[in-house]
Structure 1
Amino acid sequence: MSGMPSSTPQHSVTVGFDLDMTLIDSRPGIKAAFEALSAATGTFVDADLAITRLGPPLEQELAHWFPDERIEEMVEMYRTMYPEYAIAPTLAMPGAREAIAAVRQAGGRSVVVTAKHEPNAKLHLAHLGIEADAVVGWLWAEAKGEALREYGASVYVGDHTGDVRGARTAGALSVAVATGPCDAEELRTAGADVVLDDLTAFPEWLARHLEG
């Protein structure tokens, strides 16, 4: 188009990414944080079980172990302890850095939209050298659609059926990776437009998507 500056990329796209079990394998860190919380409170928390159902807000997991009147207190305690116990053990998922790089190389932007406490989400990304253009926390499932719309994301990548619902709410293409608690069939049934085994397949998919 004649009115477009020459520096504008041919394809500009904003891609949203979930965090836990999409970009990062936070299971070792979250397990350590839950074990520390359990030790500090004297309340049993089955950390091994908790890390099999990552995705929903922290409050939902804590409700399995603490009475309702203590949830708010436990959320605050967990989040305060989290940086000490959970950041260092957490790993990047295979292909995570390459997926973000692929968006940048296409002239696009990456925005991480997660249910996680936003400051802790930013700590994870900084520690692992994953450079997203924006990070929005405290949003789950359909509520993720708010941030995705705000940033103009046309694609949302996540590992949970809640992420599929978030993409749908935003009118974005739902790209699911079968690296979290939901398997490929469950993600397809939930309405994912694309299901990848993991993020290592994302750059090739993105290139095809933008060509189309």
Structure 2
Amino acid sequence: MSPMTTNVSAGPLTVGFDLDLTLLDTRPGIRATFLAFAEKYGVELDADLVVTRLGPPLEHEMAHWVPAERVTEMTARYRALYPEYAIEPTVPMPGARDALDAVREVGGRTVVVTAKNGPHAALHFAHLGIEPDAIAGRLFAEAKAEALREHGASVYVGDHVGDVRGARAAGALSVAVATGPCSPEELREAGADVVLKDLTDFRAWWKAYVAETAR
């Protein structure tokens, strides 16, 4: 299936954001969905382990728990359960709303580029009352560059080394937040231009970045 993309005019202040553990803490919902999936389909798995390594596509995680020939089938079954179990428990990461607001306050646009299924990403944001200007789903690592270039993003914010690689492939500034499975050292080694503790540090960095680029 091709990535789901919501088209929007690109602009010089377009900022891309990852979803899982960058903008949203989806761990409780993903854990609940995996537990429901395991019970319904008799799959032995460790849901607590699953949520320690969010970032790559769902198929990568599913391959740890089911035979290779059943990954596509079982991934579809998991996704069918997702809206029931994952949306309600999900909350914004600290500073997420303010980071999006900071971009918009200077006339910027926000695009969410995520490995998550696009319709599920949209459900999360609708439930939380968060409205990014665009959503591009089912893209990971270098493949994220496709959407970042399409929307003219000059900055991409994420928590995973794959996000750093995606930003670099798109020629965008890589801003990493140490809120996911990758340490600050791993993010820097992957080539992140900026490493923040979390999105509560984004506004101050963004104001300085905008001022610098305006000169």
TM-score, with normalisation over the residues of structure 1? 0.94
- SS of the residue aligned with 2:43? coil
Q: Which moved more, 1:124-133 or 1:156-165?
A: 124-133
Q: How far did residue 80 of structure 1 move?
A: 0.7
Whether 2:118 is the aligned partner of 1:126: answer no
Number of aligned residue pairs = 202
Distance in 2 between the 1:135 and 1:48 partners?
28
- Kept after mapping to 2: 8 A contact 1:99/1:202: yes
Which residue is equivalent to 1:197? 197
- Kept after mapping to 2: 8 A contact 1:100/1:131: no
Deviations 1:5-27 (A, max 9, x none): xxxxxx95000000000000000
Distance in 1 between the 2:178 and 2:149 partners?
24
Which residue is equivalent to 1:6? none
Which residue is equivalent to 2:17? 17
Whether 2:71 is the aligned partner of 1:109: answer no
Superposed, 1:175-194 pairs within 5 Å as 175-194=175-194
Distance in 1 between the 2:32 and 2:20 partners?
15
Distance in 2 between the 1:51 and 1:12 partners?
35
2:108 maps to amino acid: G
- Kept after mapping to 2: 8 A contact 1:27/1:51: yes
- After the TM superposition, which segments of 4 or more aligned residues of structure 1 sit over 6 Å from their partners? none
Which residue is equivalent to 1:4? none
- Kept after mapping to 1: 8 A contact 2:164/2:187: yes
1:114 maps to amino acid: T
Whether 2:38 is the aligned partner of 1:38: answer yes
TM-score, with normalisation over the residues of structure 2? 0.93
- SS of the residue aligned with 1:110? strand
- Kept after mapping to 1: 8 A contact 2:12/2:152: no
Distance in 2 between the 1:16 and 1:129 partners?
18
Q: Which moved more, 1:84-93 or 1:123-132?
A: 123-132
- Kept after mapping to 1: 8 A contact 2:177/2:197: yes
1:115 maps to amino acid: A
Which residue is equivalent to 2:5? none
Higher-RCO chain (CA-CA 8 Å, sequence separation at least 6): 2
- Kept after mapping to 1: 8 A contact 2:12/2:153: no
Whether 2:60 is the aligned partner of 1:60: answer yes
- SS of the residue aligned with 1:154? strand
- Kept after mapping to 2: 8 A contact 1:12/1:106: no
Of structures 1 and 2, the larger Rg is shown by 1
Q: How far did residue 155 of structure 1 move?
A: 0.1
Which residue is equivalent to 1:160? 160
Distance in 2 between the 1:54 and 1:67 partners?
20
